[in-house]
Structure formats: structure tokens, C-alpha cells
Amino acid sequence: MRKLYKDSLLVFLRSKNLSIPYFALLALTLAYFGFCFNNYLQYSEIFSVAMWLVRPCIFLIAFFIYCSYELAIKMYDNNMVEYLKIYGQGLWKAYGAIILCLSTIVAIPSIMFFAFVVFMYYYIDVYYLPFLIHLMKLSVLYFGLSFIIGMMLGTAMAAKLKNKRLAVYGFAVIFMLLNTTFTEAPFRIPYLLFNSYRTERMLYYIKDFLTVVPHELGNNFTIAPIYGFPMEPIRWILAVFWGLFPLTLILTECFNRKTKKALIAASCLMVLLVIGLFSVRGSTLIMDMRVDSYPFADPIYYMDSPREAYDGYEAGFIVEEYEMNLTISNELHAEVEVTIDNRDLDNYEFTLYHGYILMSVGTEDGEIPFTREGDYISIESLNGADRVIFKYYGKSPKFYANRQAIALPAYFAYYPKAGRTNIWDLDRYGYVVNISPNESDYTVNIRSDLEIFCNLAGSNNSFRGKSNGVSLFAGMYEEIAENIYAEPMRSDLPKREYIREAQEILIDIFNRLERPEPESVILFSDKRFFQMPQNFSLNSNTDDTVVMSDHITSVFCNNGPELAENIMESIIKPKANIWFRGGYLSYLFNRQDESDPLVQSAVDLNLLLEEIDEWRSLAGKFSDMNGEKRKNVSEKDRATRIADERRRYDINQIVNEKAAKYLFYESPRKEENLRIFFDYFTSESEEDYLGLVERLVREELEHDRN
Amino acid sequence: MIVINNLSKRFRKKEVLHSINLQLENRVYGLLGANGAGKTTLIRCLAGLYEPQHGEMLYNNEPIHKSKSFRQDLGYLPQAFGMFQELTLYEMMDYICSLKNIAKSKCASEITKALTSVNLENKGRDRIKTLSGGMVRRAGIAQAILGDTKVMLLDEPTAGLDPSERARFKNTVNALKKDRTILISTHIVEDVDACCNSVIVIDEGQVLFNGSCEELRNIAINKVYMINEADSDSIVGEKFILKINEIESKIFYRILAKEKQEYQSEKPNLEDGYMCLVKGLA
Amino acid sequence: MTKRMSEKMLSSLAVAIMLIFVLVTSINAASHTVYIDEGDGPVQSGSITATNGANYDGYNSSGSGHRLYITLQSSSGSGWTDQKVALMDIGQSASGYSAVSGDLLWRVQLNPQYAYTDCIGWGTISNR
């Protein structure tokens, strides 16, 4: 076999159409490493470098498909197969030698990538072993196994399709395109044709089955350090499958009928097994434009669902105690026992995210009937029982829980919460912060291969304590300082002095506002601080910073003032436009840009009032617009409406910024105005904020006149 | 010795070989037949590339698909033969030695012997892509010889060769035929005549004749006539025009006739005997 | 240490040159608005520079045929990264901010849902 391997290698090296491009590829790879290294020197972002490193993966795989096909097809081009077959397993030996030869060919760039990532790890000087392991796994899976997949696919196509080069390269191109974001456009066609997501889901199912890269070419979404590159068990299973399945196809060409039948049967079984496993893959991180992806699954689901608002809904009972037994393997499997305070209600409502499939609801006496409707569970009378046991499993596209990482913040209904609360706020475009006003006792036991960090006290994935919510995080995540938890590989890590500084700033702010600090904010600097993965703010504007009874979660913590402002943002209700609210906060925190022409020049109040009037009259024209009316409007009216919308949009920013600038910076009553609007933002008042702005401005004008 | 009993082979609904019975000993057999007669199918069945629907093939009384000695003794030259263009002739022979499990110590001598047998001993260091078509064919015979094979199956070995290469091929076969069973499949009668001891004529999947060349020739005795074009209509009974010749501006027909004619018969050659058989004029 | 400092200086110089270039080419670029009309595919606004993150605001006109994506993107110079994405229903707006710090370029992109080109909308990016 060594001789055959050596000869196959000679054939490869002496084939100019193979060896020259191969050596050119090796040289290009080295140059590319230089580019990536330079990228790190410039921006010091290791994950950005890693993303650059994986981007050309698909090209290398395609190149190895080409190399392996062109090498294996020589046996057919040179009419060798017929006489090779008569020697004892001669054809199989020939293929075996080719595969060994190609393994050497792909091993060299694989080793180069592996060496480079290890070098980068030691160069960046952050000694975090899980990250090194992650990089090594990345190399093995995506710079090792993926290259082998390319090699096996090319060889198998030579065995099966033989000289049909058009078909072979056609398949190769399709395979390549399926591993890029190119599919976004054609995969939308079924929805255009059938107005249904089902076909799109099926197409993406096939695409995922064929995905061999960690981060598609053309994908602009970032990688969260807590999760890293996707390497869930299903990816490994698929990688092994795509290495073995082509091998069985090759073997069917090499053996006679009996063995061939057995091989075909084996490969069919393999396919069925992998499809089965793939169908139960559970929670995986999908960062692309599809309807079920991390960024879009929930917004689209809630946009398409009937709109119901549960603000201010009273459950009628409180959950006194939670006993949660969770198993986090391919997804979340949970058995949650809740103890409630009121046994006498006729009906109990709970909120549990719709992605979790409820298997049963029961009490100590056995299972009880329930109704599951979207995110809600309705249970009728408990017959005097005070404990309800929920058994469920499932996943959320955003709040993942699997063998690679866990990010389950307390404000998300991954366990049953009392009453009906919206999960998603359509107006604010973000997740509703669903935290109980009351604290409950929690006992949480989690079976997982990962070390989990929780706001409750405990260790070895068992936790106990009192809180108004339980947050769980795991992955490339650590306690980086006492009671501060974050992704160690992130460049903007939180520090205790930032949190203390934010506390002091907020104390000053509330003193300035002459208002008491909300209870949750008092002594928040002593609470556990969990930095959320940076891309958690990708599709949500509402949960950047959440303060709970015993812990804080925040996406950003670059400095004290910024954290203080984010906390203030979480306190005030988003009743006003972002420009006005943003202006309010910037002036409240003295963050205004003194060189900004808006700040430098005085606001013409009469003009401001006119603009506000104009804006409100334009807004009033569309307040009753709906889909039905939209269809029936004439072309002329439509054009007029669009022009009005555009005018409204154009003046929107300037009106709000000028209003904020005047009221909170220029006005002699600015401190009073800050207080008035703080009360407004934290109250249940439904008064339109511009109405309040107008009133205050008119009062001042009146005062000036007098 | 190879014994074929009642061999039948079908591809989908078409029966390509029908109840073939043959016995092959140590001599050179020419397997003669038209295109599509079943020659290549028979050779491939013998080589183990096809599984027949019926019948058996025995080598030294052992079924060939179970016989290890048959695998070791078999040398096969397919109709389309090639080698890795990038390797030298010697490297390619060495590659095949590895596939044939020839002991490393014997490889060099086997290769030298095989290449010498086909007059390619000076071409060992040349790349395959520099060899002519005829040299590649001879190299094909060389790989069939490697390992001191006892059974050689050569499928259309002279196809595409020029006359000098064909002559050289025949000389090669003649040099190899001692103590070997060689089966040469061809549709060129001259090749059979030049180097085969026995002829097997196959037509539409059936063996029409199995005997010596002399016997095949004798089938056409008193059946071959050379007559003037003008006299062609006077031939009685079934006839077949073998060849049309022009001699001194006159057209002469070489005709096969089933019945004896009044004309002087010609001495038949192998092709005449073959045509007699396949045209049903025997 | 010295080697690191010179690397930092070089990178700062590169960023500074880039910023100067951007500032020169986009005067008073504290905010940019992009419009998408019928027949348009994805459109991007001009870039602004910011160190404390950026605000975005968008609107999908009630005259649009389909939903419209608005994406807030940042770049440190090595490619654009999506920091915020929102899908605006017809007649709906979306706004928010990203607090990613650092000397970054920011822009918004408007992209009709699926392959449609019948959206009318507006998107604005500004400093935070």
C-alpha cells in the first residue's frame, strides 16, 4: 500500500493542473495568515481575526473537491478501472491509495491553520484554556474534517459520475453556494410564490444538512465570544457523515454485487440515522436571514401573530417557590415545580415561551388538563393543590441552551411565570423584560457538561436563593472578578470601579432630580453583574440593561457613565421618540456635544411649536391606516400620503432634538423640566409626550411675554 | 484448464450470451465474432467483471470466483487500456506489481522480464504520455504477463494499431504462448490466422464453431468461387459476395455459395470459413 | 512594550487617517439619512464616525408593498458588522441604539423583505 500511496502522490505532484494550483494555494494561505495577523495588530479583536480566517473556508473545500476529483478521474480518463478490478480488490486499493494521498495533501494546509490559530492564541496573551480548546476544535472541525469532506466528495463524484465533468462541477458549485449567503435570494422565492414559510424552512433544512463552514461568506453577523463558532454535536456528526457517506459510495464501485448490496444498505441506514439525528438536533445558533434565525424568528413570529397586550395583567397569584430540575443537552429539558400562594382560583395562567413544548402539567395527585396557546398555559382549578409541576422541553432561537453555551436571562420566560405577559414588544421592537415584582425562593439543579453561572448562590450547577428571576450563563464565560461575570475573550470587560462609578453617578442624578432611587437601583453596585453577549442587542432595543432584585444583566459596560445611563434607560418608560429620549438622557448626564451646532445655537420656540404642530397633524393623518384601507386608496392619494410621511420623517429628528435641547439645556427651567419628564417617563400616564413638550414650551413663552 | 458450462448472461431483457460451453487448454484461442456478438461480454465474465445469470466457469475444477489461484494466474488486457500518464513505464509496472501482491523482491525481475517480452525494456524510464499507441498496447500485454500469469485474456488487442504494430503484436503473442492459455478476442480474421491455434466463432451470443483454424477453413471447401461480375447471376442457390476485386479493369467477385457450382472453386482461407458460418452457408 | 506601543501608534495613525478621510468626504456627518424607493434593492446610508455608539431610526411607509429591514452596521475598517437589525412592518417605525464603543464607522442599511423591490422608507443614523 505504501508503494501505491507513493505512486499516487507522484501522479499528483507531476500533474501540473493539480500541483501548481496546490502550491499556489499554500503560498496564498501563508499570505492570508499575514493579512489576518495584520488585522489583529490593527484592531486587536481576536474574534474578528477568527472570522476572517474562516471566511475562505468554502473556497478551500471547493479546491479540494477539484483536486480529488481530477486525481481520481485519471483512472477513468486513462481506462484503468477495468483491469484494476480484476486484481484482488485492486480498484479499492487504488482508491485507498488516492484517498491516502489526498489526505496528505489536505493535511498540510490543515496543520498550517492549526498552527496559526495556536500561534495567535499565545500571541494575544490571554491565557484562557477554554478558548484554546475552542480554537483547536475549530481547526479540527472546519480546517480538518471540512477539508476531508471536500476530498471525499470529489473522490466519490469521480467514482459515481465518472467523466461527467459538467455534472461534477455543477454539484460542486451548488455545494459552494449553499455554504454562502447567496441562498438568501433564491430561498425567498417559495414565499413569493406560495406565501408560506414551510418551503423556505425545508430549503434551509437541506442547506443546514450540507453546511460545512462555521461562518458563511457574506454573513455580517458577529460571533459572540460566549458561544464562539458553532460546533454543536450535530456539526460533528454531519462532518463524520459527509466523510463516511462518500466513502461508502466509493466502496460500492469497488466491490461485487453481494458486497455492493450490503454497502448500499449500510449507506441508506447511515443516511436515515443522520437525518434522524439531524431532525432532533435541538438548539443551534442560526445567524442568518431566515425566518427561524436568532435575529428574526421572534420578531416575525410576533408580527404574524394576533396582537394582544398584557401590560398590567394581574395573575391573581404569586409564585412563592420554584424547584427547577433542568437538563441541558441538545436543548433544554425541564421539570419545574411551582408553589403558589392562592389555591382557590378557578383559573391559572402562566407564561412560557412558545418554543418550549409542554409535555405535561400536574400536581401531587397526578396530571391535570391544560391549554397551551402560543406563549400561554391555562390551567383550571387545582383542586386545592398548591404545587404545579410542569414538564417541557424545547428551545429558543435567541436564548440558546445546548452543549456549547447557555444564555437564559431571568427576564425571559424559559420557565413558567405567573400570569400572562408579552414576550415581545412590537412597538419598542424588543423583548419584554418579564421580571416578577415579588421575589421567590429558587432551588435550581442543572445537568449539563458546562459550568453554569447563576445569580443564586451555589456551585457544581446547583443553586439556591431568593430572587425575582434566575439567570443562567455558560460557555466561554467566567467570573472575571468577584461577582462580575463576562466573556473573558471580550475586549470591553466590565470592572467593579465602573459599576461603583455608575452607582455614584445615579445617586447624583436622583439627587438632582430630587427623586428617590428606585428600589432595584439602590446599592446595585453590590449585586452580581452579568455581562450579556454583545450580539444580544442585535434584535432587541429593550433589554440592553436589566436590573433585578439581586443581579444586573447588561450588554455594555464600557465605563461608569455609560452604565449609569443604560440603567436610567431601563428605568424610564420608552414613551417618547428615540431622538427626544436620547436627548433627555444626554442632557441629564451632561453628555452633550458642545461643538454640535444644535447645542451652540438658540432654539426658535415659535418655529419649534409650528414644527410640532405640523408633525402632529401629519401623524394624525395615518393614525387610522390599516392594510384594508391601504389597498383601497387611489394612486393620487397614495402619492400624497407618501409625501406627507416623508415630510413627517424629515422633520421628526430635528423637532425632537430641538425640543430636547431647549427643554433640558437651554431653558431657564431645565432642571424642573428634567424632573417633570422623569415623572412622565416613570408614570403610567398616557399623555402624548409632544403634548407635554408643547405645554411646557407655551408656558415658557407666556412667561417670557409676561 | 478453463471449463465453461452452459454460461448465460443477460443485460436487462437482452440475452447477450446463451448457453456457452467451452473448454480452454494451454494454447492460443482466437475469439472471433462481429461487433456485438458477445466476445467482450464473455471475456469479462471470465475475468470476473460480470456475474452470469446461469452456468459456471471452472479453473482447474474450481469455480473461478472462488479460486485464488485463478486471480493470481490471470492477466487481463481490456479493450480500452491506459495508465497514469504522469508515471514512467517502470513506475506503472511497479504499481501493478503492488496491486497484484507480487513480492517486493521479485518485482524488479518480473518487470524486466515482462518489458523484455514486449520489447519495451528500453522504455522503462519514459513517461507513459511519451509512449505511442502501440507501445501502450504492448505495455498492456506486459502488465498482463506480470506475476508469471498462466491465463491471459486479451480483448481486441490490435484495435487502432497500424500494420507494423500489429505485426509486432503477433510476434509477441507467439513468443508468449508456451504453457499459457491465451484468449484473444478480435473481429480481425488475419490476427487469428497469424497467431492462434484454435478459433472460437461466436455470433449473437452463441458459439457457432470451436476448433482449429484448419477446420474452420475447411468449412468453406468447394464453396468459394472467383467469378466475373457478369456471371454473378448464374450462381445457383444461396450466395454471399465476400469481396469485389478489380483485375485489369475487369470486376471479379469472390463469392461464397452454399451449393456446388459449375465454376472452379478457390482454396478457402480463414475468413471464408468464418463467413460461411455466420452467413449460414456451411 | 515599545513594540506594542509602536503598533498602537501605527494603528491609531491608520484610524486617524481613515477618520480624516471620512470627515473630509462627509462634511458635518453627525447624521445621515437614506431613502429607499420603489424599484430599489438594499440601500446604505453614508457613514458617520462615533466613539460611543450610534442611534438609528427608520420608517417603512404605509405605501410600501412589504416589510422592510433596517440594519445598523459598524466597521472598524475590516468589513461591516451588523450591530442591530429590525424588521419594520408596513407603516411602522423602528429605532434604537448600539453602545459599541471605539472609533468606528456607522451606517444604516434598508433592505426590503425577500426579493421584493416595492418598499418606500427612510433610515437615519446619528451619533449617540
Task: Give pLDDT, residue A87.
Answer: 87
**What b/e string do you get for A170-207 counting C-beta neighbours within 10 Å, with b at 16 or more?**
ebbeebbebbeeebbeebbebbeeeeebeebeebbeeb
Give the integer Cα–Cα distance in Å for B38 and A589: 95
Give the integer Cα–Cα distance in Å for A31 and A52: 13
Window 617-646 of A, Cβ < 8 Å to C: 622, 625, 627, 630, 638-639, 641-642, 645-646
Give the integer Cα–Cα distance in Å for A701 and C58: 32
Residue A629's closest chain C neighbor by CA? C62
Interior angle at CA B95, CA B92 and CA B100, nearest 5:
125
- pLDDT grade for C6, boundaries at 50, 70 and 90: low
- Nearest Cα of chain A lies from the Cα of B163 at a distance, in angstroms, of 24
Task: Give pLDDT, residue A624.
Answer: 63
Chain A hits for B85, Cβ within 8 Å: 74, 78
- Nearest Cα of chain A lies from the Cα of C11 at a distance, in angstroms, of 5
> Is pLDDT at C28 greater than 50 in this prediction?
no
Task: Give pLDDT, residue C19.
Answer: 40
- Nearest Cα of chain A lies from the Cα of B249 at a distance, in angstroms, of 47
Give the integer Cα–Cα distance in Å for A74 and A159: 11
Task: Give pLDDT, residue A626.
Answer: 61
Chain C hits for A596, Cβ within 8 Å: 30
Q: Are strands C54-60 and C121-127 parallel, antiparallel or unpaired?
A: antiparallel
pLDDT, greater one: C67 or C23 = C67
Task: Give pLDDT, residue C7.
Answer: 52
Task: Give pLDDT, residue A629.
Answer: 65
- Judge whether B49 is closer than 8 Å to chain A, CB to CB: yes
Q: Which helix (H) or strand (E) holds A548?
A: none
Task: Give pLDDT, residue A314.
Answer: 81
- pLDDT grade for B43, boundaries at 50, 70 and 90: very high
Give the integer Cα–Cα distance in Å for B139 and B123: 10
Chain A hits for B86, Cβ within 8 Å: 10-11, 14-15
**Nearest of A457, A473, A461 to residue A325 by alpha carbon:** A461
**Nearest of C59, B23, B70, C53 to residue A646 by alpha carbon:** C59
User: What is the DSSP code string of A375-441?
Assistant: TEEEEE--TT--EEEEEEEE--SSS-BSSS-EEE-TTS-SS-EES---SEETTTTEE-----SS-EE
Cβ atoms within 10 A of the Cβ of C44, count? Answer: 17
- Judge whether B83 is closer than 8 Å to chain A, CB to CB: yes
> Is pLDDT at C15 greater than 80 in this prediction?
no
Interface test with A, best of B99, B102, B107, B129 (most A CBs within 10 A): B99
Q: Which helix (H) or strand (E) holds B109?
A: helix B104-117
Which tens digits make up the pLDDT trace of B162-215?
888 888 888 888 888 888 899 999 888 888 888 888 999 998 889 988 999 889
Give the integer Cα–Cα distance in Å for B213 and A161: 44
Judged by phi (left if over 0) then psi (alpha if -120 to 50, else beta), residue B233 lies in: alpha
Interface contact A79-B81, CB threshold 8 A: yes
**What b/e string do you get for A543-563 counting C-beta neighbours within 10 Å, with b at 16 or more?**
bbbbbbbbbbbbbbbbbbbbb
Cβ atoms within 10 A of the Cβ of A266, count? Answer: 15
Contact C8, C91 (CB under 8 A): no
What is the distance of C-alpha C41 from the center of its chain?
Answer: 16
Window 257-296 of A, Cβ < 8 Å to C: 295-296
Q: Do chains C and B touch (3 or more CB pairs under 8 A)?
A: no
**What b/e string do you get for A565-604 counting C-beta neighbours within 10 Å, with b at 16 or more?**
bbbbbbbbebbbbbbbbbbbbbbbbeebeeeeebeeeebe
Residue A254's closest chain B neighbor by CA? B49
**Unique residue bearing C-alpha cell 460571533:** A223
**What b/e string do you get for C90-125 counting C-beta neighbours within 10 Å, with b at 16 or more?**
bbbbbbbbbbbbbebbbbbbbbbbbebeebbbbbbb
Interface contact A538-C31, CB threshold 8 A: no
Q: Which helix (H) or strand (E) holds A324?
A: strand A319-328
Chains touching A by CB (3 or more pairs below 8 Å):
B, C
Interface contact A191-C84, CB threshold 8 A: no
In degrees and rounded to multiples of 5, residue A27 shows phi and psi of: -65, -45
Using CB atoms, which residue from B47, B80, B83 is nearest to A86? B47
First to last CA, chain C: 34
Give the integer Cα–Cα distance in Å for A596 and A454: 44
The grid cell for A245 is: 457517506
Task: Give pLDDT, residue A627.
Answer: 61
Q: Which amino acid is at A586?
A: S
Residue A49's closest chain C neighbor by CA? C78
pLDDT, greater one: C3 or A66 = A66
Chain C hits for A582, Cβ within 8 Å: 55, 97, 128
Residue A87's closest chain B neighbor by CA? B100
Domains identified in chain A and CATH numbers: 2-293 (no CATH), 308-475 (2.60.40.1730), 478-571 (no CATH), 593-705 (no CATH)
Cβ atoms within 10 A of the Cβ of A257, count? Answer: 9
- All residues at 6 or more sequence positions from C63 whose CB lies less than 8 Å from its CB, including other chains: A630, A638, A639, A641, A642, A645, C120
- Nearest Cα of chain A lies from the Cα of B244 at a distance, in angstroms, of 38
The grid cell for A555 is: 450588554
Using CB atoms, which residue from A4, A79, A85 is nearest to B49? A85
Q: Which CATH class name applies to C31-127?
A: mainly beta
Chain B hits for A257, Cβ within 8 Å: 51
Task: Give pLDDT, residue C27.
Answer: 36
Interface contact C91-A625, CB threshold 8 A: yes
- Judge whether B191 is closer than 8 Å to chain A, CB to CB: no
Give the integer Cα–Cα distance in Å for C75 and C83: 10
Interior angle at CA A49, CA A45 and CA A51, nearest 5:
115
Residues of chain A with pLDDT under 50: none
Provide the number of CB pairs (under 8 Å) joining chain A to chain B: 70
Entry pTM = 0.88
Using CB atoms, which residue from C14, C80, C122 is nearest to A220? C80
Interface contact A556-C84, CB threshold 8 A: no
Size of chain C in residues: 128
- Nearest Cα of chain C lies from the Cα of A181 at a distance, in angstroms, of 13
The grid cell for A229 is: 463558532
Contact B174, B64 (CB under 8 A): no
Give the integer Cα–Cα distance in Å for A557 and A555: 7
Give the integer Cα–Cα distance in Å for A388 and A382: 8
Q: Do chains A and C touch (3 or more CB pairs under 8 A)?
A: yes
- Nearest Cα of chain C lies from the Cα of A548 at a distance, in angstroms, of 21
Interface contact A86-B91, CB threshold 8 A: no
